[in-house]
Structure 1
Amino acid sequence: MTVQDVQSFVAGQWLEPDSGARDIADAATGKIIARAGRDRLDTTAMIDHSVTVGSPALKAMTFHDRARMLKALALYLQDHKQVLYGLSFSTGATQKDHLIDVDGGIGTMLVIASKGRREMPDSHVYLDGGTEMLSRKGSFLGQHVCTPLHGVAVHINAFNFPVWGMLEKLAPTLLAGMPAIVKPATATCYVTEACVRLMLQSGILPDGTIQLVTGGTGDLLDRLGSQDVVSFTGSADTAFKLRSAPTLLRESVRFVAEQDSLNASILGNDAVPGTPEFDIFIKEVHREMTTKTGQKCTAIRRIIVPDSQVDAVISAVSSKLADTTIGDPRDPKTRMGALVSQSQRRDVLEKANALGQEAERVFGDPDAFEVQGADAENGAFLPPMLYHCADPDHATTVHDTEAFGPVATVMGYRDIDHAISLVNKGAGSLVASVITHDPDVAREVVMGAGAYHGRLYFNNRDSMDEATGHGSPLPHMVHGGPGRAGGGEELGGVRGVLHYMQRTAVQGSPDILTKVTGQWVPGSKTVKGPEHPFRRTFHDLQIGESLTTSERQVSIEDIETFAHFTGDTFYAHMDEDAALRNPFFPGRVAHGYLLLSFAAGLFVDPDEGPVLANTGLNTLRFQQPVSAGDSIHVHLTVKKKTPRTDTYGEVRWHVLIRNQKGETVAEYELLTMNAYEAAA
């Protein structure tokens, strides 16, 4: 059998392993299939290549450019994923496991790309929050902005997800505008290397945006500075060693860690056998114990159930585990494959033996189990092992020792406060789940346990058909956790992108802020266009282009007609005496929505043109009542433009409705979709 030399991609060149290489075995057969690693690694050249080649290329692109790049990259990987499937079997993963790692990674990249197009501007500066008024007259304002860091992101990933683990970090990093150096765990780096080769082969990524280190990182971390980021996934011991590196501390290098986690699942006391919730709970526990052979950072390690249901849960889970086929991961009939390596198998057994000092093993014997169609002696196989801790209040090991494999412990609780106390004994986790149909229980858990967990997952009969599962981090939601889980945070949509950017408070005049942010700020200069703005295409419209309309007087007949036509006969519009008793009104007043309708009548151009649709309005505020006899006019200004498709983009208009005294009556943001080109 040919042994693969897993290469590193350094400063634009592929480098073979050298004398520092380490052998890698097939998880299911124990046979050596690859070697990876180098003693000689020019880390100075790597950092320089990222900063001088990759970084400028990415920063020249807008957020939308980078989002389109990510989408194209994900679709390319989608078309070539069979290559990654074929290699991943050697990690001990089954075909279903591949869906989590390979398809999950590609899906994550697609979501991050979509978030970039929908939630970030087509420019180089991201706005964090709204404009802050720092002066009485509005001539001095503040705005928080985010811009990409000027260094390199070093991603140190775990062995269990060689594709997802890379892509879930890489997508937000590239969207932010930072190049990356990827360092996968050696045990499965051959899958990561294949994925990187595909990405480079696609020709989509600019030079210098990604580099790959298979094996040790050498002195790379010693050469980082304040503009760099280290994102780590792995054990707590390794995380502590890395984050304690003198250079990282001295240079205040950002360090994101996702590490050991004693995740737990609570069975609500309403979820008794025979209820949908009990069945959901058993299914979730079984899935988390066996998927990826329990080698998931989000897997359930502690099973917390009412005292009265301990025996029923043990029986039901054991029955499901007994039907779990263990064997060759390439066999479609296999439900659970092998651990990633013999060393990992030994580690899991060591941790399981430690758990056995405080808990009784009630299912799974590592010395007597059946492996189908595979080398049980040389492969890194273990059975799922279920433990029962009868005294979780006085136990310590079950709450602080993670056996990173198919191992979990059942423990009973007296009431929901006791369950919360037990789930928090893990001192910080990535996820805790609660299976209950009682919303009051859900609220109690959020209030009592939320501070200890990065994610709280609730499921019951109402959500079970669409719920994604306890152990599934979603790119839309934050992934990370406090305390033992590392104190880090990844994903969460645009939140994950901001970890690779610097938030800066910018202060200045409205004109300064308009130029910096790329969107019009109230108080800054406006310009009158050559014609009605609704007759101008998306590309023709300029930020700050403005229209001031003629006036329209509001009559008592207008108010009454609108009231009867719409059915809105609220007393402030129809009863003078009642309106006078209201502290907000000087008497009968016009409906706010009547004013919006009149405003539209003042500024809308009726003819067919580039404006395709009005898609809504934001931040509407009515600031001054309008009485019969008052007049209103509108100031309409182009605030922001965002491309949406190949043919049209979104225009956000700042709208001010003012009365005859110049007082602001209402203020809002109008959204329209405008064509890039005029109709033929």
Structure 2
Amino acid sequence: MFTHDTLLIGGEWTKPQANRSSPLSVVSPATEAVVGQVPDAGEGTVDAAVTAARTAFDSGRWRRLGTQKRAAVLERALDLLDARTDEIARLVTAEMGLPAVFAARKIPGAVSAARHLLHLARSLPESEVRDTPFGPTAVLREPVGVVAAIAPWNGPFNMALAKVIPALATGCTLVYKPAPETPLDAFLLAEALHEAGVEHGAFNLVTGGRETGRALVAHAGVDKVSFTGSTEAGREIARVCAGRLARVQLELGGKSAAIVLDDADPAKVGRALAAGLFANTGQTCSALSRILVPAARLDEWTDVAVATAESFVIGDPADPATTLGPLVSRAQRDRVLGYIDAGRADGATLVTGGDAPAHLPRGFYLRPAVFTRADNTMRIAREEIFGPVATVIPYRDLDEALTIADDSPYGLHGAVFTENPERATRVARTVRTGTFSVNSFTHNTHAPFGGVKQSGIGRELGPEGIDSFHELKTVNLTPETAPHFD
């Protein structure tokens, strides 16, 4: 069992305050056994962590170090993590049920993506002098301040790096809180940053549940909240931050549409559904969970979805043969089962899955489900399920398909499948969403990612993800001072 009783605060591994000494248990979704324990930080511990980050930022040592020197420290941390990717992968498999075959690729991939973020941070100028009618003017990129970074359980390590590395690279200081379901890998990240020489207090780790998160978001010492999670939680965070005009970056829910045109390649559609709907047991915010198909070929495309759903090997995520693990918790499986009941009640036809595999009596497993003969008014088409549930919806023509795709409170991802480049371009330009893919499901770690509508505010990844941790300062200069800002 992986047990931690201290948190990294102000550069020291510190026990939480005594009034919140009860540990938080981490339950394996595969066996239902406790696999780890971490502290459940309370308000006092959160205050200590934010105070440490505030002190480190206000002292100026980390932010005045300069991008190149900060990046060198962070490169050392990534080197340390690179040497432990197998260990991190095993932790992620144990705490969230990601099959080992995918964790073995995903964890090194996350480190590689973080290195690219450092490359981007190095390439962004810290200042730029412009000629204006009012004389030379410097535009400075400065760190936004103290960041509260809160990551979800469905991609704990990679999403931690996507928040922590840009924040530190730009000179911010931060308090990082992982999800209570998946906190174990965060300790290895904290150890690497600490050992690499990140300024004491620049990175602080707290663990805990909703109370810990609320205390962190509400803290007056936090300048920006970077949150990935549910739209409901995002709304609450936005309300709290609005009270003090704190910056927010929210990557929230989705109900993305896969628009299958009449000339689509079934193999490409199947591969995209495997990667972009059922992988990670459907626990992906950008999942292509609405499959829009020509009404005249509804049964044919339903068969493609069913074949994809039934192609997975469900089992122990530690087994290299497993390609689909359990849902993260009993509560999450119950939530998904509730949507399956709702789909039946609303009149959709369940053609495969939607129940627990008979050979797995323990663990939070669920066979991937496919509904057909559904319409876009049903709950299974309107609300984010966050599980392996596909909803096949027929359309009459392309205009109706585009209308259905955009008839959603969300706008995170989407895809079109066609061999016609002109139609692909039209669809990609028309659908209102933050990310879109053609003939694939692609999560591009080199490009900005985020949503519109109720899918969030702001972008992570790409140069835009780095810049999201900057504030811009305009300095109106005289000709004599301008060379000092080049």
Per the normalisation by structure 2, the TM-score is 0.92
- Secondary structure at the aligned position of 2:226 is classed as strand
Aligned to 1:314: 302
Identity among equivalent positions (%) equals 25
Are 1:444 and 2:426 counterparts?
A: yes
Aligned to 1:95: 100
- Secondary structure at the aligned position of 2:415 is classed as strand
- Secondary structure at the aligned position of 2:449 is classed as strand
Aligned to 1:49: 52
Q: How many residues in Structure 1 have an aligned counterpart in Structure 2? A: 476
Higher-RCO chain (CA-CA 8 Å, sequence separation at least 6): 2
1:362 deviation in Å?
1.4
Residues in 2 aligned to 1:203 and 1:447: alpha-carbon distance in whole angstroms? 44
Question: Which of 216, 226, 234 is the equivalent residue of 1:231?
Answer: 226
Note the 1:445-484 alignment, pairs <5 A. Answer: 445-449=427-431, 452-459=432-439, 469-472=440-443, 474-484=444-454
Letter in 2 for 1:377: P
Residues in 1 aligned to 2:276 and 2:103: alpha-carbon distance in whole angstroms? 15
Aligned residues of 2:127 and 2:140 also touching (Cα < 8 A): yes
Structural RMSD (CA) = 2.2
Letter in 1 for 2:445: P
Question: Given the superposition, is the C-alpha separation of residues 428 and 351 from structure 1 closer, same or farther in structure 2, using an over 3 Å criterion?
Answer: same
Aligned residues of 1:153 and 1:229 also touching (Cα < 8 A): yes
1:58 deviation in Å?
2.0
Residues in 1 aligned to 2:326 and 2:310: alpha-carbon distance in whole angstroms? 17
Question: Given the superposition, is the C-alpha separation of residues 337 and 264 from structure 1 closer, same or farther in structure 2, using an over 3 Å criterion?
Answer: same
Aligned residues of 1:262 and 1:429 also touching (Cα < 8 A): yes
Question: Which of 155, 158, 169 is the equivalent residue of 2:149?
Answer: 155
1:185 deviation in Å?
0.5
Deviates more, 1:327-336 or 1:20-29: 20-29
Note the 1:607-618 alignment, pairs <5 A. Answer: none
- Secondary structure at the aligned position of 1:241 is classed as helix
Question: Which of 456, 461, 470 is the equivalent residue of 1:501?
Answer: 470
- Secondary structure at the aligned position of 1:45 is classed as helix
1:366 deviation in Å?
0.5
Per the normalisation by structure 1, the TM-score is 0.66
1:243 deviation in Å?
1.7
Question: Given the superposition, is the C-alpha separation of residues 488 and 385 from structure 1 closer, same or farther in structure 2, using an over 3 Å criterion?
Answer: same
Question: Given the superposition, is the C-alpha separation of residues 142 and 428 from structure 1 closer, same or farther in structure 2, using an over 3 Å criterion?
Answer: farther
Residues in 1 aligned to 2:446 and 2:233: alpha-carbon distance in whole angstroms? 28
Question: Given the superposition, is the C-alpha separation of residues 103 and 155 from structure 1 closer, same or farther in structure 2, using an over 3 Å criterion?
Answer: same
Q: Which runs of 5+ in 1 are unaligned?
A: 272-276, 460-468, 519-680
| Higher share in helix | 2
Residues in 1 aligned to 2:65 and 2:342: alpha-carbon distance in whole angstroms? 53
Question: Given the superposition, is the C-alpha separation of residues 167 and 251 from structure 1 closer, same or farther in structure 2, using an over 3 Å criterion?
Answer: same
- Secondary structure at the aligned position of 1:256 is classed as strand
Aligned residues of 1:355 and 1:401 also touching (Cα < 8 A): no
Q: Which runs of 5+ in 2 are unaligned?
A: none
Note the 1:554-573 alignment, pairs <5 A. Answer: none
- Secondary structure at the aligned position of 2:361 is classed as coil
Are 1:264 and 2:281 counterparts?
A: no
Question: Which of 407, 414, 422 is the equivalent residue of 2:396?
Answer: 414
Aligned to 2:23: 21
1:4 deviation in Å?
2.3
Residues in 2 aligned to 1:283 and 1:323: alpha-carbon distance in whole angstroms? 11
Letter in 2 for 1:283: R
Q: Deviations over 1:607-633 (max 9, x none)?
A: xxxxxxxxxxxxxxxxxxxxxxxxxxx
Question: Which of 345, 364, 367 is the equivalent residue of 2:353?
Answer: 364
Question: Which of 106, 110, 118 is the equivalent residue of 2:111?
Answer: 106
Aligned residues of 1:97 and 1:291 also touching (Cα < 8 A): no
Aligned residues of 1:428 and 1:484 also touching (Cα < 8 A): yes
1:507 deviation in Å?
2.4
Aligned residues of 1:6 and 1:189 also touching (Cα < 8 A): no
Aligned residues of 1:58 and 1:206 also touching (Cα < 8 A): yes
Q: Deviations over 1:311-344 (max 9, x none)?
A: 1121122123223110000111111011111111
- Highest CA radius of gyration, 1 or 2? 1
Residues in 2 aligned to 1:506 and 1:267: alpha-carbon distance in whole angstroms? 52
Aligned residues of 2:333 and 2:364 also touching (Cα < 8 A): yes
Residues in 1 aligned to 2:27 and 2:213: alpha-carbon distance in whole angstroms? 21
Aligned to 2:279: 291
Question: Given the superposition, is the C-alpha separation of residues 428 and 509 from structure 1 closer, same or farther in structure 2, using an over 3 Å criterion?
Answer: farther
Point out 4+ residue stretches in structure 1 off by more than 4 angstroms.
none
Letter in 1 for 2:10: A
Note the 1:135-284 alignment, pairs <5 A. Answer: 135=134, 140-149=135-144, 151-200=145-194, 202-215=195-208, 216-217=212-213, 219-225=215-221, 228-245=223-240, 248-271=241-264, 277-284=265-272
Residues in 1 aligned to 2:380 and 2:331: alpha-carbon distance in whole angstroms? 22
Residues in 2 aligned to 1:126 and 1:95: alpha-carbon distance in whole angstroms? 44
- Secondary structure at the aligned position of 1:479 is classed as coil
Aligned residues of 1:155 and 1:180 also touching (Cα < 8 A): yes
Aligned residues of 2:143 and 2:470 also touching (Cα < 8 A): yes
Q: Deviations over 1:48-96 (max 9, x none)?
A: 3213235623212222222333333222211111111221221211123
Residues in 1 aligned to 2:117 and 2:72: alpha-carbon distance in whole angstroms? 10
